[in-house]
Structure 1
């Protein structure tokens, strides 16, 4: 067993800031690809396809990253459960940053032919592999240091990172699209955000270089030999339920931040600038509400917040696509904001909820595999399915709304089958269902 007495406990604000910065950087890398896929990767890398087929092909390469994420969670989850949470933070950041910079260097189809989309797919796979490990390392760093009564709040800071990363990625894309001509943006401007990932990766490595290992990992005396085997053998039902439960979050987020950009610019004729501003504004509000929702989770429980978020999403998806179809900036913003508020009710508490569901010896693998499998179900398929459904709809893409509503109801059932994990101190004040054994650590 490790000697925990020699480890100086860092301040929670410092840990939260380092985790937030790291997830922001890694999700910047991931989102900048999604924005590029929605706006111009189709013509650049799939020019022989029709406009619709080119968009679908670009979104398919986007989906490759989600397919790779569960594999990354297995790889980095093994490292996290065997060697510690800290090595995961370093390795995942290096892999994601390097592959993102490389995307910005890939020649287009006109230069190297079919090799261009193949390189794009390979690098997107590496991006997903790195991001598959990032979430678990960052979340466990804060969750396993935090006091139980405020675990939800402190663990929510890494969950703000995706919002920051999205705004950084799209803000840079927006600035370039406004200042450059269409020809300049298509020729080299779109590459700049990918190259900027290298600078951000160096910054992230500096922030994470002195972070300590978590006390819960240091207290484990008997590490799992092959964590994935134990997770599949002992926790398979939990993994499947968490994957299904989280699929709505991914579906809603990427419907708003990726599919809607393509739909608004290509089908509705809304300018790229207007679409980016509407989506970015909604994401900023969502990021600001994340710690508020996490505090509610510390007070009322993780599971009730998730159930409320799923219910809100199920009711809001049809109004959202209706507001999107108007093409009016304010109405589109309201539609996006309502969807992301429902999403953040689940997202904010997930960082505390998932680790509490698993015992410490397999926590990194179990939590990250479930989290990233949800990405395959909700994130990888949604832009492709929504694009195909919208093609056969009128101006209002009702099929997309029905599709998202169905995912929300599916996730609602999965959350209903999961236990509550509210810490024992709070549970003494507010009766809840019996928590899992892992929730009491």
Structure 2
């Protein structure tokens, strides 16, 4: 588990580093570099629009990876996602700006971002199942939370990278070449993918499915549940997963990306200060995410998740009251509290999603639900945030937006059936047989 957890955290950290440095660059430099004809906030909004494009591609990546992962194993799609992400991130670092190649600059940027979206859409389900399906039942929440920890580590590394560059080069050099350095490091992810392919074993749950298939048939292929059938049978679980992730994903991008632009343009703090503040606040999740993941191993997933949802909604207005003071200490405090409530949901999430679906549709169901929310919530959140502020002139509108997302998440999680420490080896056929036995027993009694 130590080797597996280390490899999973490293792979996830690098993958999310690649995906999330785009959000930082969108807030700081992409507006005037790729959309120079749009002034001020309009250029930043257009830049965040290209950020959203990556999220649009994520469900497709999740669907393809889910089908392959349930059919051929969890590891292959995960490795492929690393290679795709590494290559596309490096390509962004090499792109010339609008002044050099004109309209082709934003077109190629959007294309590379779409490919990034496919890669990260395939990644989460594979990484989450690689850990949760390997982990001891009593520690599933803790090990599953390490996947989320990798995403946080990617943010910290990415923002620290940008912060270090801003400290050593002036704004002109940063706009010319400094922002490219983090993107060029994306090639490291390809090397990690090769390591995972060679050194990490397939999950026991998938091996169990293979053994069941071999016992029932001479065919070497895994039995499969057709996509439309999986959606027809498990549509409720897919929508519940999407709704559960709504406020988690939406507030995350407001806090780590939207705040970079809001803090500099509306509150008056410097870019360096805002990046440092975000880094400090996100760093606290290194402790809080595994803490709440482990806590869910003792108290169940839903209770902790629902508590975090309510607290996030309640904190929405006080959060902006503190941020709008422009005091860096109070801004940091506001972010730390918000991200702690975020960890209450994000920590138990991998285990919660893994326990919602049978083994033969788990990769597909978890990935699709996760990535649907990433489009409707996370990908649009920074753009919606800035648009609301432009339209209303007040941060109160964004607080209301956060509360609305919290309501969606609360209803979704409240309707999820708690399957705390469920047997992850159960397939759709096993669930159907168990349900028939329970119905027969109930009828006879």
Q: TM-score of the superposition, structure 2-length normalised?
A: 0.91
CA distance in 2, matches of 1:136, 1:424: 18
Q: Confirm or deny: 8 A CA contact 1:74 1:228 kept in the other structure.
A: no
In structure 2, the residue matched to 1:50 is 39
> Number of residue pairs matched?
417
- 1:406 matched to 2:417? The reply is no
CA distance in 1, matches of 2:229, 2:62: 15
Superposition map of 1:75-224 within 5 A: 75-220=64-209, 221-222=212-213, 223-224=222-223
Structure 1 pair 227/172, CA: closer, same or farther in 2 (3 Å)? farther
In structure 1, the residue matched to 2:285 is 286
CA distance in 2, matches of 1:224, 1:26: 31
CA distance in 2, matches of 1:101, 1:132: 18
Runs of 4+ in structure 1 off by over 3 angstroms are 221-227
Q: Confirm or deny: 8 A CA contact 1:227 1:365 kept in the other structure.
A: no
1:245 Cα deviation (Å)?
1.5
1:393 Cα deviation (Å)?
3.9
In structure 2, the residue matched to 1:6 is none
Q: What do you get for the CA RMSD once the two structures are aligned? A: 1.7
1:289 Cα deviation (Å)?
1.2
Structure 1 pair 240/61, CA: closer, same or farther in 2 (3 Å)? same
In structure 2, the residue matched to 1:241 is 240
Q: TM-score of the superposition, structure 1-length normalised?
A: 0.92
CA distance in 1, matches of 2:83, 2:189: 11
1:208 Cα deviation (Å)?
4.7
Deviations along 1:179-199, one digit per CA (max 9) or x if unpaired, are 111111000110010001113
Gaps of 5+ in 1: 1-11, 426-435
1:227 Cα deviation (Å)?
4.7
- 1:298 matched to 2:301? The reply is no
Gaps of 5+ in 2: 214-221, 424-429, 435-445
CA distance in 1, matches of 2:306, 2:335: 20
CA distance in 1, matches of 2:392, 2:101: 37
In structure 2, the residue matched to 1:30 is 19
In structure 2, the residue matched to 1:269 is 268
In structure 2, the residue matched to 1:8 is none
CA distance in 2, matches of 1:335, 1:266: 18
- 1:423 matched to 2:412? The reply is no
CA distance in 2, matches of 1:401, 1:239: 27
1:204 Cα deviation (Å)?
4.6
1:201 Cα deviation (Å)?
3.3
1:130 Cα deviation (Å)?
0.5
CA distance in 2, matches of 1:379, 1:227: 29
Structure 1 pair 18/208, CA: closer, same or farther in 2 (3 Å)? farther
Secondary structure at 2:267's aligned position in 1? Answer: coil
Deviations along 1:93-143, one digit per CA (max 9) or x if unpaired, are 000110000001111000111111011111101001000111111111111
Q: Confirm or deny: 8 A CA contact 2:85 2:189 kept in the other structure.
A: no
1:287 Cα deviation (Å)?
2.1
CA distance in 1, matches of 2:46, 2:431: 45
Deviations along 1:11-30, one digit per CA (max 9) or x if unpaired, are x1111111111110100001
Structure 1 pair 201/323, CA: closer, same or farther in 2 (3 Å)? farther
1:70 Cα deviation (Å)?
0.7
In structure 1, the residue matched to 2:345 is 346
Secondary structure at 1:212's aligned position in 2? Answer: coil
Deviations along 1:214-263, one digit per CA (max 9) or x if unpaired, are 11111113445355323211111111121011110011110000001011
CA distance in 2, matches of 1:375, 1:90: 21
1:275 Cα deviation (Å)?
0.2
CA distance in 2, matches of 1:355, 1:63: 26
Q: Confirm or deny: 8 A CA contact 1:81 1:227 kept in the other structure.
A: no
Q: Confirm or deny: 8 A CA contact 1:81 1:224 kept in the other structure.
A: no
